[in-house]
Amino acid sequence: QVQLVESGGGLVQAGGSLRLSCAASGRTFGRAFSTYTMGWFCQAPGKEREFVAVISWTTGHTYYADSVKGRFTISRDNAKKTVYLQMNALKPEDTAVYYCAGTTTAWATNQNDFGSWGQGTQVTVSS
């Protein structure tokens, strides 16, 4: 597992943008950060945590939830041990706590397959 710390959340008006960052800090438990598939999940008040985006460590392939396709972009900088979520054209329904997660599997979109989690960062989109 890897220790993860998110940042970049905040309050933004509808139509605005935010970029979330997730940095691997300290130990990466014997594995290079580049060998972790990284994902973003979100949890809105009163709802279950749900998948947002993932980037594979083997191929760099990305995949998005339908609700964010065309608006959000996941990327990674292995040298900085950081994964990003660029969020554009934000909507009030994007309001949630956003979590980054890591897994050593080549591909995963189910949160149960991710063993490392950050503490979350709040994103609030006002109408």
Confidence class for position 3, pLDDT limits 50, 70, 90: confident
Residue 120 pLDDT > 80, yes or no?
A: yes
Determine what percent of the chain is predicted with pLDDT higher than 70.
Answer: 94
Better pLDDT: 67 or 105: 67
Residue pointed to by tokens 């279950």 = 48
* 7 vs 63: CA distance, rounded Å: 22
CB 53 within 8 A of CB 83: no
The position carrying tokens 């396709």 is 69
- Residue-level pLDDT at 30: 58
Tens digit of pLDDT for each residue in 15-74? 999 999 999 876 665 578 778 899 999 999 999 999 999 999 878 899 999 999 999 999
What the block records as the tokens of 95 is: 């309001």
